């Protein structure tokens, strides 16, 4: 399965799509990128005169690339095909280390810890374009097969 096929199956669209590109994917890991456009609405109020990307949005970006995209790949590898899989975040534990500003590109790297009983749990980290660690943690979600 190629990255274009994975992106086509994502259950998100603008303005809530936080995946630009899948760089590599295997049964054990995925790496992807996203650039936070300065035009995104949440920058208008978070924070006044000093906008940064909210932590919940960083977590969402990590989940979309690190759990949902990897989950789509794994389901297709099993032979389960569905245009838009159902996904539900079941847990997250994220440590935020550095702010992400409007216009910054981030890279998300996810390593599968396990995928069983439709639950995917991954160790995920996000880095800025200079390779500095932005945040890291563990995210798990339920991937609903079609």
For the chain, list the domains and their CATH numbers.
3-144 (3.10.129.10)
State yes or no: pLDDT of 13 exceeds 90: yes
Closest by CA to 118, choosing from 72, 83, 84, is 72
The catalytic residue among 1, 12, 46, 104 is: 46
Task: Please confirm, yes or no, whether 46 is among the known catalytic residues.
Answer: yes
This prediction's pTM: 0.93
Tell me: the pLDDT tens digits for 28-54? 999 999 999 999 999 999 998 999 999
> Where do runs of H (alpha helix) occur along 1-88?
3-8, 55-63, 70-77
pLDDT digit string (tens) for 78-108?
776 555 667 777 889 999 999 999 999 999 9
């Amino acid at each position: 399965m190629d990255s274009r096929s994975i992106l086509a199956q994502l259950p998100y669209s603008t303005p809530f799509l936080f995946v630009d590109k899948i760089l590599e994917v295997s049964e054990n890991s995925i790496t992807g990128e996203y650039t936070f456009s300065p035009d995104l609405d949440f920058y208008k109020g978070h924070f006044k005169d000093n906008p940064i990307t909210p932590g919940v949005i960083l977590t969402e970006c990590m989940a979309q690339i690190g759990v949902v995209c990897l989950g789509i790949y794994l389901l297709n590898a099993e032979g389960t095909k569905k245009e838009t899989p159902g996904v539900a975040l079941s847990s997250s534990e994220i440590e935020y280390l550095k702010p992400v500003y409007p216009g910054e590109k981030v890279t998300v790297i996810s390593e599968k810890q396990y995928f069983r009983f439709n639950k995917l749990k991954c160790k995920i980290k996000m880095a800025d374009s200079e390779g500095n660690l932005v945040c890291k943690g563990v995210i798990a979600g339920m991937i609903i097969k079609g």
